[in-house]
Chain A
Amino acid sequence: MTAASLAFADIQVGMAIPELACRPTNLNLFQFAAVTWQSHRIHYDKDYAVEEGYSDVVLQASLHGAYLGRLLTEWAHPNGRILELEWTNRRYATVGETLTFRGVVIERYERAGQGIVVCELTEENTSGEVITPARATLVFDRPAAGAG
């Protein structure tokens, strides 16, 4: 695993983060609601969600953030970790939609012996609309792969 790990030296401005695509199911939403103890009915009761004007059950706002976190950690762990993650839930998504998470490096610098990487991120729905714009700062404070 370590041999394939991303190091700060490997990162350049403009570099794309490998995209993450997922199609959340009712099971995913149920498990997320259960573990976060969130009982809001729009997230598991389709009839109720329709009453509120949605076409199906709606992803939790935090689930979008959790997938953005995955996009970043699957790329940066274990040498890098997220320092800041900011997102706006611009549009909702419902179960069964294919969601695509992308990111690109927009800044890279060193600060106090640590590597700092700033990325712009998007989450798109099936129609290609950006539903969750986001921005993240990561810190790479572990030695490069193989060192130490």
Chain B
Amino acid sequence: MDDADVERILAVARREIGHETVQDLGECTRLLIGRFAVAINDRDPLYRDPEYARSLGYSDVIAPPTMLTSIRGWGAGPFPDELRTDGSAAETTAHLEGFRRMGAGQKLTLVSPVVAGDHISVRRKLVAAYSKRGRSGNLVFLESESLYVNQHDEVRAIHRRTELLR
């Protein structure tokens, strides 16, 4: 990534900062919660046993704390031949195409536990964009904030995520 790439990405990012998009994600089912618990090898009965969860005052099983913010695709997503060579979905914004992206850090505020049956939507916005010169060249950091709410407008989580482009 040369200096002109950095400037181009930052110029677009600065215009996007603060603009909120709202997306309906879908329902957190017992199946989704159970599978996520299996995938992280977590045998906590709070994620699998509705009776146990009710005995602790929850209306149903709850999700592991990082489930909501770990899910990258909530819909069916693109077909395999529509994915980029690296397997990720094509950028919705062309100016980010062609750069390698990776997660650089996350901050989760878990306002209340996600309960099976929650229908979640997310309000997302870019909050910061900046560049650094790393050992292997220029790096661009994009920080976004996502607010996850359920169908009753109860906030479940606030997720601040830093993504690195190189």
Contacts and interface: CB of A to CB of B under 8 A. Distances in A.
Interface of A: 1, 22, 28, 31-32, 34-42, 45, 48, 52, 60-63, 65-70, 72-74, 77-78, 81-89, 92, 142
30 contacts: A28-B39, A28-B41, A35-B32, A35-B38, A36-B71, A37-B72, A37-B73, A48-B86, A60-B70, A60-B103, A61-B104, A61-B106, A65-B66, A66-B40, A66-B70, A67-B40, A73-B64, A73-B65, A74-B44, A77-B44, A78-B56, A81-B110, A83-B109, A84-B110, A85-B65, A85-B66, A85-B107, A86-B106, A88-B105, A92-B102
Contacts of A77: 44, 46
B134 interface: no
B103 A39 contact: no
Given A39-B88, A69-B64, A61 B110 contact: no
Contacts of B87: 39-42, 45, 48
B108 interface: yes
B71 A37 contact: yes
Contact of A62 (B70, B77, B86, B110): B70
A39, A42, A68, most chain B CB atoms within 10 A? A39
A31 B70 contact: no
B67, B77, B83, B110, most chain A CB atoms within 10 A? B110
